[in-house]
Chains A and B, each alone.
Chain A
């Protein structure tokens, strides 16, 4: 028997499109790279600038704080949404509807201007100027957290609903109180469903924080803007900021990958990172 050489189909159409794509991208790179209007030496000059690094710290701080706050608030909202009391579930629905239905940018500006209708807080003889509490930082953090909490509530609710109802029935039958059942049986199992989307939200939040630059909350983008307001190197500083955003999201994605691979490996054990949180919950559950 003679065996003949096999030649796979060429897919000429794809090859043509690929060639065109290469040409277009090369042209774009060439145009940007050789543009006289971009001062490339400014990029390395500013990439490790103290102001920029300080902005990065704030961006990371905003991300971490708003994620922590929104996870806690989201868990509370999700539990309320699933409660039998119509006022509790109604409030949670209304909250989610409102904060998901209005643009985050509007919410940020709103919080920043809250002193316009609440100029001061007066409790008895205590008088506090709203402006002294709700700084740009606080306004930005409030807006990011309260908005994210609405999304988190839906993610957590989805996770809780994904746990088979039989688990809760078994817990009840074994004499677990509602709090014990939630903290020791339902929530630990819901975490496996909840963790991956929380990772996505965190990565998204790293970029979303740039919106707070509208109230000059001193995040990375605010700092870049401050610098280019003085030297007009607009594109250069936006490139610097973009590089840093890419670095942060790439690192965050890598961390997410590690966490998710651990989640995948031990299908029935919480990942190491979560053990501490679980231990905390167990301690709480004991009091329940």
Chain B
């Protein structure tokens, strides 16, 4: 409670207002409200099918919401507002908005035909107007940050899942995003590789990056998250400071979920 009040007092980075999303007749988001302040780390927890990934994907308009609005840094995402109507942006306009929002996927999604250095350095050259040298230098710095110094010439298929995911984080960071979205970043990893990815995310959080993380890693959430949002069946069931939600859940659905996770 406390943290979210602080968050909303400062200028929020993300403001989601009554977000609805249906796939056909199936309503997966039934009015989500969420405010995330600058530098805040929010973990979205919940059983699979609760809509947390869908909600995350609405934030950078990878998913088109059915109703509601999402603002990132004060800017309406995905739409132009004209009077009573919202007009969806063109692909080009969406691209411009997405440049400020980093995203890390469950399945890494590194560009398979490019080496690691190109994966990281090409986006800022294309979409931030950086020079190649500048972008490559920055890419090397980022590789060092994710403990993959010297692996720039490797191709994604030559790397382990954990290494690929760290490259994916470095690639997202190269665009200097205001916000990072993580969509189950460790769910596709072998258990022994989860730690290395979480370590990088810890570093990021400590550096003050604003992060929204969909995860099943409760210990990570407990340690790193400022706030936990628990979702089930398309609604936010409970939210609050990490320890409060994890150790003292008030809602029955949260309690049941946490019991199953232990």
Most buried by B among A164, A170, A189, A270: A170
User: Which residues of A lie under 8 Å from residue B103 when comparing CB positions?
Assistant: 170, 173
The DSSP consensus for interface residues of chain B is mixed
Distance (Å) between the CB of B168 and the closest chain A CB?
8
Q: Would A167 and B111 count as touching, CB distance under 8 A?
A: yes
> Once A and B bind, how many residue pairs between them come within 8 Å at the CB atom?
79
Interfacial chain B residues near A1, Cβ < 8 Å: none
Q: Check B123–A167 contact: CB distance below 8 A.
A: no
Flag whether A177 is at the interface (Cβ < 8 A): yes
| Contact code string A162-201 (vs B, CB < 8 Å = 1, else 0) | 0010110111111111101000110011000000000000
Cβ of B112 and Cβ of A167 under 8 Å apart?
yes
Q: In the complex, how many angstroms separate the beta carbon of B258 from the nearest chain A beta carbon?
A: 31
* Neighbouring A residues of B95 by C-beta, 8 Å: 172, 175-178, 180
- Given contacts A178-B92, A268-B157, A285-B126, whether A173 and B113 have CB atoms under 8 Å apart is no
Number of interface residues of A (CB under 8 A): 24
CB distance from A156 to the nearest CB of B (A): 17
Question: Would you call B83 an interface residue if the criterion is a C-beta within 8 Å of the partner chain's C-beta atoms?
Answer: no
Q: How many residues of B contact A (CB 8 A)?
A: 33
Chain A residues with Cβ below 8 Å from B108 are 166
- When distances are taken between beta carbons in the complex, the residues of chain B under 8 Å from A267 are 157
Q: Is the interface of A mostly helix, strand, loop or mixed?
A: helix
Q: Which residues of B contact A178 (CB under 8 A)?
A: 91-92, 95
Roughly how many angstroms separate A268 CA and B113 CA in the complex, as a whole number?
5
A269 at the A/B interface (Cβ < 8 Å)? Answer: yes
A166 close to B126 (CB less than 8 A): no
Please give the distance in Å from B160's CB to the nearest CB on chain A.
Answer: 16
A268 contacts B175, CB within 8 Å?
Answer: no
* CB of A286 within 8 Å of the partner chain: yes
Closest Cβ neighbor of A267 among chain B residues:
B157
Residue of B nearest to A192 (CB): B113
Q: State A269–B154 Cα separation when bound (angstroms).
A: 12
Least Cβ distance of B221 to chain A in Å?
Answer: 23
- Tell me the B residues contacting A by CB distance below 8 Å: 60, 62, 91-92, 94-96, 98-99, 101-103, 105, 107-115, 122-123, 126-127, 155-157, 168, 171-172, 175
Q: What 12 additional pairs, Cβ within 8 angstroms, besides A172-B98, A180-B127, A268-B113?
A: A164-B109, A167-B111, A170-B105, A170-B109, A173-B60, A173-B62, A175-B99, A176-B95, A177-B91, A184-B126, A267-B157, A286-B126
